[in-house]
């Protein structure tokens, strides 16, 4: 939307991980080095943890993009809220092994045969498990058991476990001792510091083709760091909204006050429920008190057991939601009209200048 206004080739602050925008902070370089070290060792587990939005997935995708497909067969597992057997089937499917209508034993045999085939062809197999903190303990144990597969003295599978900080607590529990013995390296990605936050923003703008526009002063970088806590995804969200604000206001130079305005606007959008929302909660609590041990849903009559006060509050809340959606749509339309008016005005000014320039151009003398 705002790329042309700032002279950018694409959006610099997308929320989706993009290896093309990888910023090598000290911690990200360290995590990348650990992953590369793990690939060279070709055995055991590498554990990478970090806060939500810290850039773990970007580092992993950057590694995947750098691997030689003729030497490394990589599978990426991102859905981890499954039981142990479903996790095993998902691993098989990620490597292209047939798992449909197969028993657990058949999946294990097929997966081992696939891994042996790859190793015999001079390839290594790498499994990357994202969102590892969602794995059940039994699922983690299944992954550990897969590391027992060997071809002679060579391990058939290496696994990277990537997750949020709570996975470290899982790893340190007493029943994870056998897994800890297979972990060859661990690394935690923390937030960026203030200077890295500025470097991160400038790096992404440069990758998007920026050439002096937009411009942030030092106080604006300070404000962005304080508001985001140095978490890359939060920085992206804040800067994207900031550039949108500048586009709508025909502004390319940002100060701390601009950052404060955007932060305030975002906080209002995610603020706690208003009076009607609190009234709804109060009515729900009163309804629960009146029911006592009675079920909220009467299975014999097929009706909800609600008081008249709660029913009225629910109806009022739904009406309010409809009005808020309508109001939001009108606001978006209003902003679109304002943008069109500004563009039309700029076009008219440009045409006027062209007409004036053509009228004052000296006539060529005839020979």
Give the pLDDT of the chain (367 residues) as one tens digit per residue.
Answer: 788 888 898 899 988 888 788 888 888 888 888 888 877 777 788 898 988 888 888 888 888 888 888 888 988 888 667 888 888 899 999 999 888 888 999 999 999 999 999 988 988 899 999 888 888 888 888 898 888 888 877 888 989 999 988 888 888 888 888 888 888 888 888 899 999 999 999 999 999 988 888 999 999 999 999 999 999 999 999 999 999 988 888 888 999 999 998 998 888 876 655 555 555 455 555 555 554 544 444 444 445 555 666 566 656 655 555 555 555 555 656 666 666 666 667 777 778 778 777 776 655 544 4
Separation of CA 10 from chain center = 18
| Residue 198, pLDDT score | 94
Q: Output the six-digit token pair for 300.
A: 């014999």
Spatial separation of the C-alpha atoms in residues 82 and 142, rounded to whole Å: 12
| Residue 296, pLDDT score | 47
Q: Are 313 and 283 in contact (CB under 8 A)?
A: yes
| Residue 271, pLDDT score | 62
Q: For the whole model, what pTM was predicted? A: 0.66
Q: Nearest CA to 266 among 247, 243, 242, 249?
A: 242
| Residue 297, pLDDT score | 46
**248: burial class by Cβ within 10 Å (0-12, 13-18, 19+)?**
middle
SS3 per-residue string spanning the chain: CCHHHHCCCCCCCCCCCCHHHCCCCHHHHHHHHHHHHHHHHCCCEEEEEECCCCCHHHHHHHHHHHCCCCCEEEEEECCCCCCHHHHHHHHHHHCCCCCCCCCHHHHHHHHHHHHHHHHHCCCEEEEEECCHHHCCHHHHHHHHHHCCCEECCEECEEEEEEECCHHHHHHCCHHHHHHHCCEEEEEEECCCCHHHHHHHHHHHHHHCCCCCCCEECHHHHHHHHHHHCCCHHHHHHHHHHHHHHHHHCCCCEECHHHHHHHHHHHHHHCCCCCHHHHHHHHHHHHHHHHHCCCCCEECCCCEECCCHHHHHHHHHHHHHHHHHHHHHHHHHHHHHHHHHHHHHHHHHHHHHHHHHHHHCCCCCCCC
| Residue 72, pLDDT score | 87
């Amino acid at each position: 939307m705002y790329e042309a206004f700032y002279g950018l080739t694409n959006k610099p602050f997308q929320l989706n991980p993009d290896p093309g925008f990888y910023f090598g902070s000290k911690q990200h370089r360290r995590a990348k080095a650990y992953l590369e070290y793990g690939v060279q060792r070709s055995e055991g587990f590498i554990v990478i943890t970090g806060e939500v939005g810290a850039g773990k997935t970007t580092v992993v995708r950057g590694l995947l993009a750098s691997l030689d497909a003729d030497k490394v067969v990589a599978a990426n597992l991102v859905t981890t809220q499954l039981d142990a057997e479903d996790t095993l089937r998902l691993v098989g499917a990620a490597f292209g092994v047939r798992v449909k209508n197969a028993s657990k034993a058949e999946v294990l045999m097929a997966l081992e045969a696939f891994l042996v085939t790859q190793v015999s062809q001079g390839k290594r197999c790498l499994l990357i498990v994202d969102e590892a903190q969602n794995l059940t303990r039994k699922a983690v144990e299944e992954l550990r058991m897969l590391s027992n597969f060997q071809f002679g003295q060579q391990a058939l599978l290496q696994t990277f476990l990537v997750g949020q900080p709570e996975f470290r607590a899982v790893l340190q529990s007493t029943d994870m001792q056998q897994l800890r013995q297979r972990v060859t390296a661990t690394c935690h990605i923390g937030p960026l510091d203030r200077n890295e936050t500025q470097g991160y923003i400038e790096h992404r703008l440069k990758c998007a083709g920026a050439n002096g526009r937009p411009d942030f002063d030092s106080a604006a970088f300070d404000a962005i760091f304080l508001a985001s806590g140095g978490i890359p995804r939060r920085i992206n969200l804040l800067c994207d909204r900031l550039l949108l604000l500048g586009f709508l206001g025909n502004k390319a130079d940002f100060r701390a006050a601009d950052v404060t305005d955007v932060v305030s606007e975002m906080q209002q959008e995610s603020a706690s429920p208003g009076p009607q929302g609190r009234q709804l909660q109060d009515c729900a609590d009163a309804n629960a008190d009146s029911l006592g041990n009675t079920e909220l849903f009467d299975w014999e009559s097929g009706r909800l057991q609600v008081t008249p006060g709660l029913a009225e509050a629910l109806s009022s809340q739904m009406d309010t939601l409809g009005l808020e959606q309508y109001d939001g749509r009108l606001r978006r339309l209003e902003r679109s009209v304002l943008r069109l008016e500004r563009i039309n005005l700029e076009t008219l000014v440009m045409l006027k200048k062209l007409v004036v320039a053509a009228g004052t151009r000296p006539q060529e003398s005839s020979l």
